[in-house]
Structure 1
């Protein structure tokens, strides 16, 4: 993918196409592949909603979506090149082939990294690019979050094991229930406001981003606790 900004994907259609290419190339059981399929369904849904006039400012929502996706794809490319992805993504890439980690855990760990860290930075990047305040994006930020929340229950249902695997389902249900997309989304918005306030203080901003990535990564490690 060629773009002047390595953290910004060209558009949502090309994002979806890149995810389909990844889906075809990765083993189905690979943890990154599991998250990629989830993210592809989210991207396709956001694209459909955008065409239906769901967003208040479609161009700004598209800009946010491409910058958001670009951070995930950049982490994929870094790992493929043998480089270290951001700390929030490392648990997923390190555990992606662990036989004791279940698909739902991979999906939640990816969502945790992407929403908990990347979303806040994507908001700030979008505000810089469009020369606007975060409040201008708040309505569409919430609407993107509504799409994610609507898909969350379906994701959990699709990836949970059946009732015949009770020895696995009990600890998995407990682990999955300890993490909330709604709380992660609220935290991402708060983090974006902090980062926007720190945008003129490079040292403090960089320190905040580093701590955010490491904190989100720590949560990811718990989510990827092997259950077998």
Structure 2
């Protein structure tokens, strides 16, 4: 399906028609993540990312339930649209065509013995934030009938939680001191990517896509170029590093 059609599944002339199926809540996307976790081998690249993303989505759910998001409806909508893009890209049950370019490197290298779990996890973070989050903001704005500026608080709060996700990834999956010398190429490779810069670029991309919503051809081209660029960065992050012995993370 063309990317622009993915952005506007039930929209005509910039107006949400409301004719599509009802969107599931956070519980539904959590159930899909848990189902993936149950069936994927622990060392699978998608499984590595799925575990850390599941943890952060559970935290978002807890914060919504405890009133940490002032606009709970907006937070749920953004969180669900965001998670669905990842799930639809990697879940074989929902596979109805070629996945977005940003997810292809992870899907291609998910079982490569020369790619470490840290690379898998951060490549997933790169794809999900660099591409999926921008489109999810547009999806949410259409569904809620609002502007991106109206979702900026929710975007920032979700972004803060994703920052904790990156910290968790690095703490749990970074090789220990005994592997420091051998891991120097890994440290150099992944040190060139910044979550904060990716978030800033994503917010700019979301605003640009919203401004282009009545120019579908231009929006389509912009989205494809964004997808390609994020996919290229992900491919670099997944460069196999010979000599590293990959150990499957504990479940």
Class of the TM-score when normalised by the shorter of the 2 chains: over 0.9
Q: Give the equivalent residue in structure 1 for 2:194.
A: 180
Cα distance in 2 for residues equivalent to 1:196 and 1:82: 26
Residue 53 of structure 1: how far off its partner (Å): 1.3
Residue 78 of structure 1: how far off its partner (Å): 5.4
* Structure 2 residue 221 is matched with structure 1 residue 207: yes
Q: Give the equivalent residue in structure 1 for 2:71.
A: 57
Root mean square deviation of aligned Cα: 1.8
* Structure 2 residue 232 is matched with structure 1 residue 224: no
Q: Give the equivalent residue in structure 1 for 2:13.
A: none
Greater mean alpha carbon deviation, residues 28-37 or residues 143-152: 143-152
Inter-CA distance 78–213: structure 2 relative to 1 (3 Å threshold) = farther
Cα distance in 1 for residues equivalent to 2:171 and 2:165: 10
- Larger Rg, first or second structure (1 or 2): 2
- Contact 2:42 2:48 (8 Å CA) reproduced: yes
Q: Give the equivalent residue in structure 1 for 2:34.
A: 20
Inter-CA distance 216–75: structure 2 relative to 1 (3 Å threshold) = same
Q: Give the equivalent residue in structure 1 for 2:141.
A: 127
Tell me which of 67, 74, 83 is aligned to 2:81: 67
> What are the Cα deviations for residues 23-58 of structure 1, in whole angstroms up to 9, with x where unaligned?
110000000000100110110010111112111211
Cα distance in 2 for residues equivalent to 1:53 and 1:126: 20
Instruction: Point out where structure 1 has 5 or more consecutive residues left out of the alignment.
Output: none
The aligned length equals 224
Q: Note the 1:191-202 alignment, pairs <5 A.
A: 191-202=205-216
Structure 1's consecutive aligned runs of 4 or more residues displaced over 6 angstroms after TM superposition are none
Cα distance in 1 for residues equivalent to 2:96 and 2:45: 17
Tell me which of 97, 102, 106 is aligned to 1:92: 106
- Contact 1:117 1:213 (8 Å CA) reproduced: yes
- Contact 1:113 1:220 (8 Å CA) reproduced: yes
Higher fraction of helix: 1
Tell me which of 156, 160, 163 is aligned to 2:170: 156
Cα distance in 2 for residues equivalent to 1:59 and 1:144: 14
- Contact 1:163 1:169 (8 Å CA) reproduced: no
Inter-CA distance 121–82: structure 2 relative to 1 (3 Å threshold) = closer
Q: Give the equivalent residue in structure 2 for 1:113.
A: 127
